[in-house]
Structure 1
Amino acid sequence: MTGHGMQAGTASRVNAANPTIRAIARHVSGEGCLFLVPRGDLEPGEALLVSVATFPAVRGVVRWVLEDRLGFAFRQVLPEGMEHALADQARAGAPVTLERC
């Protein structure tokens, strides 16, 4: 485990050649959340898709980046139950998938 609770090996390296990112969500709301991510080349304004369990992927945008954390705003209303599923995964320390779009 790292200092923020991300298990070693759960995050993929963030780079242009690998558009899929494994991240741990924190402070989840219907408007957005904080993601713990591997350090890499994500920047404010970058569009990402968030995939959680069996829910359809949801678009959002990176608002800020600070070391291994980023602020993320959802660009659409979350499907019914997705906020709770994302919060449950956050409490369990289970990663979600972020994908560049």
Structure 2
Amino acid sequence: MDREIELIVKKPTQSASGAETLGEESLGADFWAFMQEVGGNEDTDGKIKHLVNRTYTIRWDDTVQQKSNALILVDGGQRFEVLHVIEIGRKKHLEIRVKRYE
């Protein structure tokens, strides 16, 4: 586990006019993770998009497991959408599957 990552929770908030928007709040702790490139491809739908797929393995954390799909993972300034969080072992590690469109 050699990469320091940040996890951010997407939370619904209300603006002054009453409209609901998505705000962001850091989980307050940086996590150390093992990153593995799963693959990627290019999509040419009007303009070229690069899809990056990765998995990050971190030590087990109850909050991360509960919030799973409402998270954003930040690694080196790049933001990734969390697709799925998988428990590895019994409260040992979590595998976070993410994607990023560039």
Q: When the two structures are superposed, what TM-score results if normalisation uses the length of structure 1? A: 0.43
Q: When the two structures are superposed, what TM-score results if normalisation uses the length of structure 2? A: 0.42
Work out which of the two has the higher radius of gyration on C-alpha atoms and give 1 or 2: 2
Q: Which has the higher strand share?
A: 2
